[in-house]
Amino acid sequence: MLSTFWRMLRADIKSNKLQFGMIWSVLVLSAMLLLISLLMLNSTNDPWNRTFEETNGPHLWVVSHEYDLDFTPLIEDPAVSQTTGVMMALAENPMVIGDEKYNIYLYGMDTPPPVAHPLLAAGRWLDPNTPDEVVLDFSLANFYDIQVGDSITILAAEGEQDLTVVGFAVTAHWFPYNEVTKDVSPGVGYISQDTLSAIQPNPDYWYSVLGLRLNDPETSQEFSGQVFDELPIHHGTQFSREFLKDLSTVGLIIFNTIGGQVLSQYRSIGLLKAIGFKPRQVTAIFLFEHLAIGFFASLVGIALGLAVAPYLVNTLAENLNTTPPNIYAAAPIILVVLLVELTVAIATLIPAWQGGKIDTVQAITVGYRQHHHRTSKLAQLASWLHMPTIIRMGIKDTFSRPLRTVLAIFSLLLTVLVAMTAIGSQTTINFLANNRVYFNGTSADMKVMRNFVPAEFVEDQILSEPQVIDYYEESDLWGQAPGFSEQPLAVRILRGAYQNFDFQIKEGRMISSPDEAVVGFAVLDLIGAAVGDTVEIQADGHPLTLEIVGRNAENYNMSNVVMISSETYLEQVGIDIAPMSYNLKLADNSMAEDLRKEWLEKSQGELTVSVVTEEPLASVLQLNSLIISLATILMVVAGANLMSTSLLSIRERVRDFGIQKAIGFTPNQIAISVVVSAVTISIVALLLGITLGLKLMAWFISQVGIQIGSGPDFYIIDWGGMSLLLPILVLLAIFSSLLPAVRAARLQVVDALRYE
């Protein structure tokens, strides 16, 4: 029996080289796409949770401005199972690269603690006996191309201090450091306590930090409320928190291709039955044949996938600040083979078993003749519109095999949905990448941070500069909403002419008088409030009663932001808080870089001066390339599926073409009818895809907007990009059907009529 299987496989491939070549191509491309999708899914499958488990992450962080705060009540609480121990940290000593300064949070950590111990990715840990060493966060080092053994400079209280980088580490309690997060979430490094004391000798500038693991993580929110009741915490507590369409599309494409191939071989099934094969033997022959092709094709597809995957997977891992999965791991490779073989088996068994049970004479003389006898609605419409006969014939023949046509349309429909989602995501991401108001929280041209420079210096040397035509001051504090202390809120305290600057107000208006606030969507969602409500929050431990007059969208702290005026803080708290940064508007924006250099020289490098640009972010471009790469591969697979469908249709309609030629149809007309049939499938799939895709895309991107705190009105529909889908799909259909159309046009009438 096995020899019979192999002989039939060789004979079928020899007699139908092109058809089996298309099946091979579809299976190879499908296996490649499956492997890439699985590897990327593995990268995105709870990367935070994986890192959290590996680092024994804390369920709760407690941070205080008081370096000598007694945390004993928390450490000895029976609800606490493990702690990091009290650690000191610095938050106001930026890293200096050239003449730029970048915020960095430095932990005093002689040895990795039992809880929240950083996961060493390269190099070694600190040597407590060797001063001036640092272990940097992996994503921070990768972003600035810092290598183990390099030196970095930290702005210390008494000048600059150089540290030697001895290792890189990954942690679960900081955002990945990239162009999107670098201005809103500082990088992180680990230094010894002696080095920390050398950088900042004054302990009043230290933070005390404690990480807690609880016996019952579900009680984190309740426990955090207890922390605020028992301890004078002013900074806040924080919880450590947390592509399958491709797979279904590939499955449908494989099912359509293999199933159609079996249906086109009903005469072979009849001949096998005529020489004594039973239905189960017929089914076994076709199953073996296609499983063998699927197995070898999946191996080739896996090899291609492994060649392409490193760039895509490594890029995604960098953006998620996690280590990339081992692309050569056995599990995903075996799973790809099993998925391909399972889909091939199902697509083969159903039609082969049905073919094995039909009458032998019918199978030999008629073959698979489950034609759709009624004219389709689309063909009726073409007739009503008096389209040319050849166009009507092509549309009619599209639905002569309804099941296969529906499968082809549905598989292409999923491709359209993926493409639309990719276009919508890319458009939204690109818009935000170039939206400096969203990523900087303001329309200012430049931002100056004082660091250790007196406010008087900034006022005298910078704000008096003729090029500075407007500015406002800002101070940032951390706070929380009562009852929701697990989520830190960034409180932006504005002073001066902030009304003259643009903010991303999505609803309501900007603050204009005391006791008003503009908040991010994430804040409204957290506390269940709406614009117009009066709410209470705490800022640096001080209660504030605020009327929400607007909703703002910005990247800072995932839109967990509350903006108030300095008058509000002064009236309700009684503290005239000193400005920490200055947002400037220039008369001539082209002078920004010259001014930055001048001000850095005046301050002897102690200021942080940044120029706001509108260049696309590299990390966003990387994510876009991932989306485009997957959509392109899927489009290629869809094109191969269309070509395979056209070839199968031609193989089944050889006699029909012979009759059409006999009554006067020219080769060009035959070819056009084949192309029209493929184009019809594409257009139907596109129309259905646009109808479903607009809702799906809007829902998908709005959910992304909600997750990142920007709100449900986060998405942008790019009608220009959507309109390109029509010519792309039509061209795809034309190119995919050209070869089958040429084969149909070249059929000889005598051979075609003799085919049956």
**Per-residue model confidence (pLDDT) at position 102:** 84
Dist CA 558 CA 710 (whole Å): 7
Dist CA 561 CA 712 (whole Å): 17
Dist CA 94 CA 183 (whole Å): 12
Burial class (CB in 10 A: 0-12, 13-18, 19+), 207: buried
Say if CB 347 and CB 364 are below 8 A apart: no
17-56: burial string, b at 16+ Cβ within 10 Å, e else = eebbebbbbbbbbbbbbbbbbbbbebbeeebbebbbeebb
Give the helix/strand (H/E) hosting 608: strand 608-611
Give the helix/strand (H/E) hosting 645: helix 618-652
Tokens of 457: 């210096």
**Per-residue model confidence (pLDDT) at position 234:** 43
SS3 track for 503-518? CCEEEECCCCCCCEEE
Residue reference for tokens 């609605």: 377
**Per-residue model confidence (pLDDT) at position 699:** 75
Give the type of residue at 282. V
**Per-residue model confidence (pLDDT) at position 411:** 67
SS3 track for 377-392? HHHHHHHHCCCCHHHH
Say if CB 370 and CB 655 are below 8 A apart: no
Dist CA 196 CA 202 (whole Å): 10
**Per-residue model confidence (pLDDT) at position 242:** 31
pLDDT in tens, 162-196: 999 999 998 877 767 766 566 556 889 999 999 99
pLDDT in tens, 195-241: 999 999 998 889 898 888 888 776 655 666 556 555 554 444 443 33
Say if CB 681 and CB 412 are below 8 A apart: yes
Say if CB 654 and CB 755 are below 8 A apart: yes
**Per-residue model confidence (pLDDT) at position 561:** 93
Partners of residue 546 on adjacent β-strands: 535
- Strands 561-565, 516-520: pairing kind: antiparallel
For the chain, give the number of residues. Answer: 756
Say if CB 628 and CB 426 are below 8 A apart: yes
Q: Say whether pTM exceeds 0.85.
A: no
For 119-151, the DSSP string reads: EEEEE----TTSSSEEEEEHHHHHHTT--TT-E
Residue 325: which of 41, 601, 102, 529 has the closest Cα? 41
Dist CA 691 CA 715 (whole Å): 17
Give the type of residue at 535. V
Span between the terminal Cα atoms of the chain, in Å: 28
**Per-residue model confidence (pLDDT) at position 240:** 36
Under-50 pLDDT residues of the chain: 46, 233-247, 368-372, 755-756
Dist CA 272 CA 8 (whole Å): 10
HSE, side-chain direction, 13 A CA sphere, residue 51: 29
**Per-residue model confidence (pLDDT) at position 585:** 93
